[in-house]
Each structure stands twice: as C-alpha cells, then as structure tokens.
C-alpha cells in the first residue's frame, strides 16, 4: 500500500490503477473503482491533450461523427501552395465558349440534381493500386462541388480573406480565371469557406457564397455581370453553418432559398439582370438546394425549408402542397430529396431523424402530400442518397445502406465511408469517402459488394464529386483531382 500512496502523490491516475490491481481491494470496490478511475483520469487526459495541442500542433477536427478526431494533419487550406501552383501554370488566352456549348453537369448533383451520371459507360476494372489521376493540384477551402460545361469546371473556394469563383480546364487542371471578392466565413465545426456549388446556364455562372453573396459571371472571362446579397436583399439571417443552398436555373429564372420572413423565403431572380421576379413563403431556410421535378404530372420546384418540404409553381412560386419535415436536435435539413416515382420522393436527415417517403397526389382542389413510411435506417447527415431501379442507396451516417423504395425495408448495411458522397453511374455506386477515398460498389439490393477503393485526395472530404465526358472531378478544402472513368480507359 506504501507504493500506492507514493504513486497517488506523484500521478493520481496511476495510483488509482495500482489500487485497482491490488489484492487488498474487494471485487465490488474494483468494479466501482473502474468507473472512478475513468472519471478521475478525465481532467488529467484533457490536460495532456491540451499541452500537446499547445506545443506540438495536435488539433481537433470534426469529421462528421462524434467525438471529434485528434490529428496532426487537419484539413487546412494551404494558400501558399495554391498561389505557387497557379503562378506556375501557363498563361494563355481563354477562348470564348460557343453558344451551343455542351453542358454535361450544370450544377449540384448533375443534370437533374439526383446524383445520376448516364453520359457514357464507366470503367469497372479499377487497378488494385487505384486510378492514376489525370492531374492533381492544391485548391482553396470550402465544400462546393463543380458545374461542368464545354470542358470547363466551375467552383467556388476560399482564398485567404476572399471567396473566389474559379474556372478550370478539365483536361489539364489549368486555372482559366478567378473572380474574388471580400468574404471570410468560418465556424468551429465545419470550418471556413463557401458551401454552395455554382451552376452554369447559357454562358453564365451563378455562384452563392457562404455569407449570401450572389453573383452572375461571364463563363469565359469571369467578369461580374451582376451581384447582390440574398440575406440583405431578403432581410434574412445567416445560418450557423453558412449559406449552403445552391442556386437553380429554370429557364429565365435563378432560384435561391434565402430564408427571409414576410414572404421572402424562396426567391426567383431574373437570371440576366438579377431583378426579383417573385418572392414567397415565410419559412426559415435549410441547407438543401431547390430542385426542379415532375410530381403527380406537374412540373414544380421541390424545396426543403426549416420545418417542411414544399412544392412551388415555377412561374409565380405559388404553394402547391406542403408536408412537415423537422430535423431533430434543432438542426436543419442538409440532404437533397430523392425522387422515387412519378409521384413520390424521399426525405432524409441525420441527428437521429431518419428518412420518410412522401406521396404527392392530385385532389379536387389541387394537390396534397402524405407520408407513406418512416424509419431510422437511413440518416443522411451531410450527404444525399441516390435511387436506382427501385432501391435507395445512401450513407446512414457513415455506413452504406440499401433500402427498398416501396416499403422502406432495409436490404443491407455495410461498408464504412465516413461522411462522404454517393453517385450512381452505369449500375454502380461511386462513393467519395469522408477521408478522400474513391470507391466502386455494385448497385444491387442482393448484397453489398465493393469492387475497388483507393485514396484519391488527402484530408476531410465532404464535397460532392462531379462527372462529365467520363471524367470525375473530386475536391476538398486542400486538393482537387481528375480521374478518367471511361470504359476501356
């Protein structure tokens, strides 16, 4: 017992551990002591971690789950590396985009906003060591994805104290232009930088920054055509994690979710002038983006707001139907709705919320929306699911899952991918994992089968991939890369 007393004086947790192992202590006291040792050690462990963070560069990083991860390699943008990379690139004139430019991936999650790539067949025999990148280079911070048109990829990134809308050549990775303006959003859990993916339409790029800065730019030169702030313009508040809802172009309109009260929640601006065409609803904003869909035979905007999902007429924003959708723990929806049929869609959220299938039908007076089934087997947190041949595939927190879209029955759950993103292409799932791994999984309800996985980029990766002409572009807050997925390549 003398040794135990000395150890307790020098380092109390060690003294408790020796006491726990001593033959002089009863079994009951050992069990009670196990809990006590854990609790007693907490402040000492915290002190050691604090010292390591203070003097060694150890950092906490939130990667989606709980608790945060301790790492010496937090995913910080390396602005010096970005600037050096861009200085080294050749400076040649940028040819104008033709009026009939091929638009492969116009905005967030592709041509229909559903995460489907169906332009070409994809390669499925990935080498064991992984695909070799066509190019890989540093990039600024943020969580935006890419819009792709005419062989050019458009995104938005944090460059020191500025947000920069940028254009890149898909074949080479060369930066074609960068349009920067003062904006520096940062918050403890997600970090710094813009969140929303730009969209492309008829030679113009529409970009929405983390603090509500909304720009229309010429896609060839990057010159600003018009600019406004959707929060100021609609008397709306900046959300905790910033403005993350991507703009949606529908014919002459560009639709955004501002979240302002008194009829200023969802707004349609003239895409050529930036002038308001209509404003509707009093709802607070969510982080999900407006979608153009066909439901119950009616073209409409599907929008998820703070506490509900709604269908709006495109021409004037009139409310067609609404259904409650409340994310638990005081959070707001991140995931995109997923169409399941001509009159059905799926909602999903993390924080213990789960998923719900909703059916929209015509009535004598218009439309109504009714929930069909609800369960907690699919909890999309920062990601969105995909629908393929009667089944839904997505990340339940950080594990891949397959659900029957008709009944909600879970077919399988397997494979950890962190808080990443999912595409469907040619009957396969392409998963960009939360740690930058790229994986290929069969889209089959029969069983989980991963065919390949390799490290594509380094660091925490919440950004959605984008695909065009058989090439996939991936990025996070540190790196961007391009891989050739064409069959036969």
Instruction: In whole angstroms, give the CA distance from residue 74 to residue 458.
Output: 10
pLDDT higher than threshold 70 for residue 103: yes
Q: Give the residue numbers spanning the domain of 13.
A: 2-56
List, for residues 286-326, the tens digit of each pLDDT value. Answer: 999 999 999 999 999 999 999 999 999 999 999 999 999 99
Task: Give the model's pLDDT for residue 56.
Answer: 72
- 198 Cβ contact partners less than 8 Å away, ≥ 6 residues apart: 107, 144, 147, 154, 155, 156, 165, 205, 206, 207, 208, 246, 247
Residues 46 and 102 placed together within one structural domain of the fold: no
Q: Are residues 27 and 113 in the same domain?
A: no
- Residue 74 in domain: no
> Which tokens is 473 given?
């572009």
Based on the domain organization, do 165 and 32 belong to the same domain? no
Q: CA 253 to CA 299: how far, in whole Å?
A: 15
What whole-number distance in Å separates Cα of residue 485 and Cα of residue 430? 10
Does a structural domain hold residue 164? yes
Q: Are residues 128 and 246 in the same domain?
A: yes
pLDDT of residue 70: 86
Residue 292 lies in a domain: yes
Tell whether 62 is covered by a domain. Answer: no
Report the number of distinct structural domains present in the chain. Answer: 2
Query: pLDDT grade, residue 7 (50/70/90)?
Result: very low
Q: What are phi and psi of 465, to 5 degrees?
A: -75, 165
The Cα–Cα gap between 211 and 366 comes to 37
pTM: 0.92
Please indicate, yes or no, whether residues 125 and 263 belong to a single structural domain of this protein. yes
Q: Is residue 392 domain-shared with residue 437, that is, in the same domain?
A: yes
Residues 194, 279: one domain? yes
| Bridge partners, residue 466, by sequence | 473
379 and 257 in a single domain? The answer is yes
The pLDDT tens digits of the residues spanning 169-203 come to 999 999 999 999 999 999 999 999 999 999 999 99
Query: If pLDDT is split at 50, 70 and 90, which confidence band does 52 have?
Result: low
Position 174 in a domain? yes
């Amino acid at each position: 017992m003398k040794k135990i007393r000395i150890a307790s004086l020098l380092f109390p947790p060690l003294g408790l551990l020796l006491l726990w192992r001593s033959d002089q202590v009863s079994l009951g006291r050992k069990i009670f002591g196990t809990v006590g040792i854990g609790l007693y050690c907490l402040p000492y462990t915290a002190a050691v971690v604090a010292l390591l963070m203070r003097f060694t560069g150890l950092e906490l990083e939130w990667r989606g789950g709980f608790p945060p991860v301790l790492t010496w390699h937090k995913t910080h943008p390396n602005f010096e590396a970005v600037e050096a990379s861009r200085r080294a690139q050749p400076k040649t004139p940028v040819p104008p985009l033709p009026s009939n430019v091929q638009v492969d991936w116009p905005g967030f999650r592709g041509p229909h906003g559903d995460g489907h790539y169906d332009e070409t067949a994809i390669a499925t025999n990935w080498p064991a060591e992984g695909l070799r990148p066509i190019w890989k280079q540093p990039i600024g911070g943020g969580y935006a994805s890419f819009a792709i048109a005419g062989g050019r990829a458009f995104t938005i990134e944090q460059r020191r104290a500025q947000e920069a809308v940028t254009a890149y050549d898909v074949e080479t990775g060369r930066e074609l232009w960068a349009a920067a303006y003062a904006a520096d959003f940062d918050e403890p859990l997600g970090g710094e930088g813009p969140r929303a993916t730009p969209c492309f339409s008829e030679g113009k790029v529409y970009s929405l920054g983390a603090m509500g800065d909304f720009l229309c730019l010429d896609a060839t030169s990057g010159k600003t055509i018009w600019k406004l702030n959707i929060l100021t313009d609609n008397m709306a508040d900046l959300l905790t994690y910033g403005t993350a809802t991507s703009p949606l172009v529908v014919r002459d309109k560009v639709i955004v979710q501002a979240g302002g009260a008194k009829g200023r929640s969802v707004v349609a601006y003239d895409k050529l002038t930036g002038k308001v065409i209509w404003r509707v609803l009093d709802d607070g904003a969510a982080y999900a983006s407006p979608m153009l869909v066909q439901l119950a035979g009616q073209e409409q905007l599907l929008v998820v707001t703070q506490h509900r999902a709604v269908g709006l007429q495109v021409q004037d924003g009139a409310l067609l139907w609404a259904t409650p959708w409340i994310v638990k723990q005081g959070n707001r929806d991140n995931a995109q709705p997923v169409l399941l049929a001509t009159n059905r869609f799926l909602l999903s959220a993390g924080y213990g919320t789960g998923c719900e299938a909703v059916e929209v039908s015509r009535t004598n007076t218009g439309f109504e929306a009714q929930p069909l089934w609800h369960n907690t087997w699919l909890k999309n947190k920062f990601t969105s699911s995909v629908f393929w041949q009667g089944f839904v595939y997505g990340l339940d927190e950080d594990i891949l899952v397959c659900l029957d879209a008709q009944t909600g029955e879970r077919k399988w759950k397997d494979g950890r991918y962190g808080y990443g993103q999912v595409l469907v292409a040619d009957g396969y799932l392409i998963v960009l994992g939360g740690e930058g791994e790229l994986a290929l999984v069969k889209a089959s309800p029969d069983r989980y089968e991963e065919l390949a996985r390799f490290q594509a980029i380094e660091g925490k990766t919440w950004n959605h991939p984008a695909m065009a002409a058989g090439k996939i572009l991936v990025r996070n807050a540190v790196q961007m890369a391009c891989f050739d997925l064409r069959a036969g390549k």
